[in-house]
Amino acid sequence: MTKKLISFGVDKVSIFQGTCTGFIVQIQKNYAPHMVGVHCMENHTNFVVQSIKHLSLILRLEGLL
């Protein structure tokens, strides 16, 4: 079944994303060399929202809504 694996979604935890010994690297080396690791979009979206929520433009837009 792992030979059919083409993508694996993860968050930014280093155990998954490590460039040498991360989970994705190990799966690619041992089972599915063409698999692509994909960062969780929910975590990215949350990071962006948390980063911009204090900007004056965002506060003004929030006031308009």
Q: What are the pLDDT digits (tens) for 5-63?
A: 666 666 666 666 666 777 778 888 888 888 777 767 777 788 888 888 888 888 888 78
Beta strand segments in the chain, E: 7-10, 36-39
Please state, in angstroms and rounded to a whole number, the distance separating the CA atoms of residues 7 and 3.
Answer: 11
Please state, in angstroms and rounded to a whole number, the distance separating the CA atoms of residues 31 and 14.
Answer: 20
Backbone dihedral region for residue 7 (phi beyond 0: left; psi -120 to 50: alpha; all else: beta): beta
pLDDT for res 64: 81
pLDDT for res 3: 65
Q: Where are the domains of the chain?
A: 2-64
Read off the pTM. 0.46
- Is the model's pLDDT at 1 over the cut of 60? no
Report yes or no: 54 and 25 within 8 Å, Cβ to Cβ: no
